[in-house]
Structure 1
Amino acid sequence: MSRASPDDGMPLSHRHRRKLLTLLLMFTALFGAIFVVVNFFGARYALMAVEMALTLLTLSLLPVVRTTYHLRRWCLCYLGLLYAATIYALASPTTSVTVFSWVMIMPLTAHLLLGRRLVGLFSVFYLAVAAGLFFWRFGTDVAVSAPGATANIVAVTIWTYLFSYFYEASRESAEQQLSQQALTDSLTGLANRVHLEQAFHRAANEGALPLSVLILDLDHFKRINDEHGHACGDAVLKKIADTLREQTRVDDVVCRLGGEEFCILLPRTDSDAAYRMAERLREAIEALCCRHNDALLALTASIGVASTVKRGGHLDPMLHAADEKLYQAKFGGRNRVVC
């Protein structure tokens, strides 16, 4: 059985940020090593020690970042180290004014790694500290004697911040729309199989146990399509989807697997509670009054239930177990629950 990836069940941006953080760690280690040598020959031994520590820390983070499930924490850790090291360099009396050029890329780096929510205060605080250190070291005479250069630095810094902010906002919006389309059944608006797999992975790995799965299949649905047409069949599926939404909890995940088959993921639900939920759903479907033109359609469903108390694991064995129970319900006369 293949090992689960730490990016399974995560947004698309999660995988990209993992690659970006890995690249930044390699870049930081490379240039950290270069600055160690530069500062050594420049007799800036304190700054050399800081650069050496930063280089060793970034190298030690590389294997962790490739496998961690807590990528956001390590992004914060990396930014904290980077900010601390650059602030020390800015405050060091032995560095030149060119070291302040690093300030301009910090908002962009923070936005790409963390998104918009944490970056605002994080970056504003950093930029304020950097500006304070600049005037502390060089005084206000620099800004007065070279207003054009000062204006350019301020403009580029603000432009970088705004560009990265609105780029990230646009990317998040586009990703959300694409993810919604990729994770939703177009007919019923329910979750699809991909969404179900992601939700199961999160629940199984975050300890939302016990965990139960229901597979629900409408009885004699083919007859509805054959006698009343596919438009009627689609209307029935939408009605069933609405009923499942109404009867389930906020944390439950209702999914259409395909055709007339549905699946409900029930976090923190043992087999007894899952059976009671399945019975409630079966009764609600049997009580539905579905009309098409002048025909009154009677609907029933068969449901199979599977549960687990084990952390981790994969969705397929659970679906297979629930599917076997579903077939027992079908062969047992339909319109029943087997757990």
Structure 2
Amino acid sequence: MAGEFDVINKKHISRSIFKETENMYHVYCDDPDVIISDSQKETESIIDNLMERINQADILWNIAESFFQIFQYFEMRVTIPKNLLQEGKLLSLKGKGGKGLKADYVVVEAISVENNPAEPSVIRRIKMPVYSIETEGHWRRLKFGQRGKDRDGQPVDGKTWVSRSSPWRNANRRDGVVYIKDCLAIAKARVNEIYSNVNDDNEVNNLTGMGELYVLRCSLMEGEVYKVGWTSGTAKDRAKEISSATGVPMSFVVVESWRHDKPKELEVEVHAQLLPYRINNKREFFRLDFDNLRKIIIKTINRVSS
């Protein structure tokens, strides 16, 4: 498939579907200039056929439109008053990224710190604009060196705008699509944590060298919640160390671990893949079933080792 978009007026200028079969190559296009027939009945039949094919790919046109709206996805934020934050705590609002084995990861913040917001607000979802179909004109290509005019009458090289009513191009009504940014839930939980004056300290460990990436679990934690981290020692010793804290109701047990010569960088790679499942950006706990968790870890290890 291929198409031309007018991102200013949010319109499809032309759409094309290309289909290759065993002995033929089919092209379906809603550009009026490609429809050549002396018979009105034949013209109507051609239009019905090509529009049926193009409308069958409507979901693909929606996906193509969404690529133009990616910036809106990254601009979605939860707001919080600046005066609620303690000095030096701003960094804790940003998700963890870092330098991995194969790439550097930068997490785009989902929390916006405002000086005086009227009230805390959460954008839960965003509705992407749907492009309509241009029915009152189309581009016509000109020979090399020829100059035409755009829809506003301004000179343009190599093509010219043809004002022509083609209502048949908009035969299929296209509904809007709502995209939900689920990681805003993590941001909202973080904001609620700040409002509740719950302050946790970041777990800092600057050790490097041979160690292990581990998955730990405390049986009293609700649902399938796992701690995924790294240690320069062994996962078993790390579990004992964490379990000795007075705030832990029951001991952590090692679910599985992987020995690696760069466990800290490996942790960054794995955490980047587990970002949608992270419960709190300041903690290394993730909520998902272990089978999927293990698949993500194994796939990451294989990728960075290749």
The structure that is helix-richer by fraction is 1
The structure that is strand-richer by fraction is 2
TM-score, normalization by structure 2: 0.25
TM-score, normalization by structure 1: 0.23
